[in-house]
Amino acid sequence: MLQLQFLSSPRLSVQTLNPDSNSNTKPFPPFSFSFSSLKSTQTHAFKFNPLSLTPKPSNFSLKCRQSEYFDQKQRFNNSSPTSWPPPLGLPPRFYVGHSIYKGKAVLTVEPKAPEFVPLDSGAFKLSREGFVLLQFAPAAGVRQYDWSRKQVFSLSVTEIGTLISLRARESCEFFHDPFKGKSEEGKVRKVLKVEPFPDGSGHFFNLGVQNKLLNMDENISIPITRAEFTVLNSAFSFILPYLLGWHAYANSIKPDETSHGNNANPRYGGDYEWSS
């Protein structure tokens, strides 16, 4: 708090500004100002000569004290758990997604990165392509959705290509069995149908899930307008090379290796049409 204190003679009266009083005057945060008048002492702040009317300054004192506001702000900044950039050795992680909310359901779209395995040579090989995860949740009220009943559907890169090439009045259908090739095969059936509006202004995304293990049969449908479908297709087109892992390969290319890097490897030396 900043306090200004003047020592004045009895002839010069100064009113005290007290923030706790009933006065309409309010201090300006984060500082408060208070003026106090003291009784006459031998030391005066200003002495007036009635003949010359020239003030002669005497002892003037100014006392300053830092507000607790700045102390608290400084302590908060020093103890903040969020820091940027992240600690050394830990790469930053980003989570993204896009949601489309409608009256009866919500659709959330999230990309999932591909997986790589290390080789003995120190290089990495793609072990699993990335995909796009669709999450459907039915409405439980006005602007409320029951995520405990959500159903998921994973779009492969080929299925993403089918959606991207879909025209206004075309439809497609995808069938998934999460337990295909296992003992539970056929007990869970997922069907995603993308069908056009009658006027061709959008598509219905309808997900049907039959789960015999849980004795459950769920159908969730959500209308996607042409504009919303365009946004999805644009995002799909952008992320598709990353789901294939080609970005990792592109980032590993060095200028001095583009001309003779693969030719030095006999495994790939005869695979080029122009090498013969």
The CA–CA distances, whole Å, from 6 to 16, 25, 138, 154 equal 11, 19, 71, 76
Determine which helix (DSSP H) or strand (DSSP E) holds 157, and give its type and residue range: helix 157-164
Q: Which residue has the tokens 């995520």?
A: 147
pLDDT of residue 91: 78
Whether the pLDDT of residue 125 is over 50: the answer is yes
Is the confidence at residue 53, as pLDDT, over 60?
no
Mean pLDDT to the nearest integer, 174-191: 95
Residue 85 has pLDDT above 90, yes or no: no
pLDDT digits (tens, 9 = 90+) for 247-257: 999 999 888 76
- What confidence score (pLDDT) does residue 84 get? 53
Residue 22: the pLDDT is 47
111: buried, middle or exposed (CB in 10 Å: 19+, 13-18, 0-12)? buried
Q: What is the number of other CB atoms lying within 10 angstroms of the CB of residue 153?
A: 19
Q: Please tell me whether the overall predicted TM-score, pTM, comes out greater than 0.75 for this model.
A: no
Tokens of 276: 């013969």
- Per-residue model confidence (pLDDT) at position 33: 43
- Residue 206 is encoded by which pair of tokens? 């309808």
Exposure string over 192-209, b if 16+ CB within 10 A, otherwise e: bbbebeeeeebbebbbeb
Q: What average pLDDT is seen over the chain?
A: 77
**For residue range 212-249, what is the model confidence (pLDDT) as tens digits?**
999 999 999 999 999 999 999 999 999 999 999 999 99
pLDDT, average across residues 42-51: 48
The two three-digit tokens of residue 205, written as one number: 């995304």
Distance of alpha carbon 211 from alpha carbon 217, whole angstroms: 6
Domain annotation for the chain: domains and CATH numbers: 1-76 (no CATH), 98-251 (2.30.31.10)
